[in-house]
Structure 1
Amino acid sequence: MSHLYWLDEVHLKRIQHLFPKPRDVARVNDRRVLSGIIHVIRNGLRWRDAPSDYGPHKTVYNRFVRWSQMGVFARILTELAAQGNATGTLMIDATHLKTHRTASSMGLKRGRGRLIGSTKGGMNSKLHAVTDALGRPIQLFLTAGNVSDYIGARALLPSLPTANWMLADRGYDADWFRERLKERCIPSRRNRKDIIPHDTKVYRSRHKIENMFGRLKDWRRVATRYDRCPIIFLSAIALAATVLFWLRVQTLA
């Protein structure tokens, strides 16, 4: 069983104080259940296909859903990210995540209210993220796939730490966005009349946020959205980001 654990006691100790207090009945082993949740999200399994070593699959699923609705995984990411010391430079970007038909079928027409939109690539959700200078995510925001990057930027900016630089691609080249930043490194759009120069040497670091998206999409239930509820899906992304970048858990074969 030990080879199936994704979290060791050191990892668990860093985040355990953020777990809800158990009720009158003793709670099933946190380390075992969390490892089961991570295993399902990483490998894109159905919940019923979780290995029996993690306990009943209903327990694993119910724990994930209940804690997601309580915002536990979002708080874990926020607290660990607040302990980072590489926020002198921030990077912002967005990526599309493919939506499986089970996430947008039934209920509300075409996924309205579920943060699912139609693009040239089909039905998608869009993940907006801000990372620190090392490419570690510190803020996440989810919208429908056909929503502009500016919407995510407006939502994320108020909660960001003070930074010396903000790196973004030309999709964020808007006067209102530039005015709200102390120092920015954003290439100008091709149709801008007055080209604004940017520091190309500083801009080279922006590949780190692209690498972050790539690593997140290695987790199959992140790369493809199966969850109808956007809160549940965003919690899966937050948990993946926590494990990969803030707890630095080694990926199991």
Structure 2
Amino acid sequence: MPDGLIIDLVAGRGEVTDAAWVRIVPLLPRVDGRGRPWRDHRQVVNGVLWRLRTGAPWRDLPERYGPWQTVYERFARWERDGTWARLLEYVQVRDAVGAVEWTASVDSTINRAHQHAAGARKKGALAMDELDDPAHPARDQALGRSRGGLTTKVHLAADGRGLPLAVVVTPGNINDSTVFDTVLEAVRVPRVRAGRPRSRPQAVIADKAYSSRAIRSGLRRRGIRAVIPERADQIAGRQRRGSAGGRPPAFDSEQYKARNVVERCFGRLKQFRAIATRFDKLAARYLAGLRLASLILWLREC
């Protein structure tokens, strides 16, 4: 079947619809005529989505999606060459220009890692700056050990409609505030015309875990309004110092009510079982699945 051909069949549950396929097919790699012909891209993408939705092992992929090895290799190849990331950016720039609500809500969620996610071979040594960066996905394959076992933390920035703008993965025992800058730096929505991608929201809504002087100062330098409540110990410390404690930071309690959009986004992402529970050994593959799930949320909305 020729690459990019829209199949005249009703899409199964969770599969790519005709309307969605028309949007993403221009960015998929093309067959160059050399070597063996590629299996139909749409069949493979639907196979990846089936595995992402069910969380089943790759070997259990239904036969209608073709050999599981082919589907997995295509998924891994497109993770390595950045295809999944480009698809997400493409949908954002084509469908989100003028529609993105630039009030970003930032939060994190901890996802349990299955025992099959442990034991990935560590290839090569990390650079010193990567070792010091808690948000680097290659650090221990983003697995953290706690009393509950192995976990991975997903840090998310969502727009005002609850659509993912940026996703970062870290070990589950990493503090949220230490990854805040990394999450904001990952917000890059390309523009239709020439120019740098937009990366500065008008306001950032976050809970008390992000209430720190460093975060507030960083947002102020970038001209971003902080909608973050103070922690009780910070309020008590400021009051204890009297006039030397300074004025309380500005806080819009009405706008803070919109923070629930990031929680709703987590809920939609976790409808994909391979996101709610991590089965991937490699952090890069798990992150690729998160990007694909985010892509599906954008395609459903726009």
The aligned residue for residue 115 of structure 2 is 101
- Shift in Å at residue 87 of structure 1? 3.4
1:174 aligns with 2:212: yes
In structure 1, how many angstroms separate the alpha carbons of the residues matched to 2:146 and 2:229? 25
Change in 2 beyond 3 A, CA 1:116/1:159: closer
1:185 aligns with 2:185: no
In structure 2, how many angstroms separate the alpha carbons of the residues matched to 1:225 and 1:95? 12
8 Å contact kept, 1:129–1:141 = yes
SS of corresponding position for 1:143: strand
1:36 aligns with 2:88: no
Task: List aligned pairs for 1:117-196, cutoff 5 A.
Answer: 117-160=144-187, 161-181=199-219, 182-192=224-234, 193-194=237-238, 195-196=248-249
- Shift in Å at residue 9 of structure 1? 2.8
Task: List aligned pairs for 1:1-253, cutoff 5 A.
Answer: 2-4=10-12, 6-23=15-32, 24=34, 25-82=36-93, 83-84=95-96, 85-105=99-119, 107=121, 113-160=140-187, 161-181=199-219, 182-192=224-234, 193-194=237-238, 195-243=248-296, 245-248=297-300
In structure 1, how many angstroms separate the alpha carbons of the residues matched to 2:261 and 2:285? 26
Provide the identity percentage: 30
1:178-211 Cα distance to aligned partner (Å, 9 max, x none): 1222211001112112343521110111111001
- Shift in Å at residue 91 of structure 1? 0.9
8 Å contact kept, 1:169–1:186 = yes
In structure 2, the gaps of 5 or more residues are 1-8, 123-137, 188-198, 239-247
8 Å contact kept, 1:170–1:189 = yes
TM-score normalised to the size of structure 1? 0.90
- Shift in Å at residue 218 of structure 1? 1.5
In structure 2, how many angstroms separate the alpha carbons of the residues matched to 1:121 and 1:59? 35
Change in 2 beyond 3 A, CA 1:112/1:176: closer
Change in 2 beyond 3 A, CA 1:159/1:62: closer
8 Å contact kept, 2:211–2:231 = yes
8 Å contact kept, 1:78–1:138 = no
Amino acid at match of 1:87: E
SS of corresponding position for 1:187: coil
In structure 2, how many angstroms separate the alpha carbons of the residues matched to 1:33 and 1:185? 42
Number of aligned positions between the proteins: 246
1:98-129 Cα distance to aligned partner (Å, 9 max, x none): 11111113646xx9621100134321011111
8 Å contact kept, 1:91–1:167 = yes
1:59-115 Cα distance to aligned partner (Å, 9 max, x none): 11111111112221122122323442223211111111111111113646xx96211
Amino acid at match of 1:207: N
- Shift in Å at residue 3 of structure 1? 4.3
Amino acid at match of 1:4: G
Larger Rg over CA atoms: 2
In structure 1, the gaps of 5 or more residues are none
SS of corresponding position for 2:152: strand
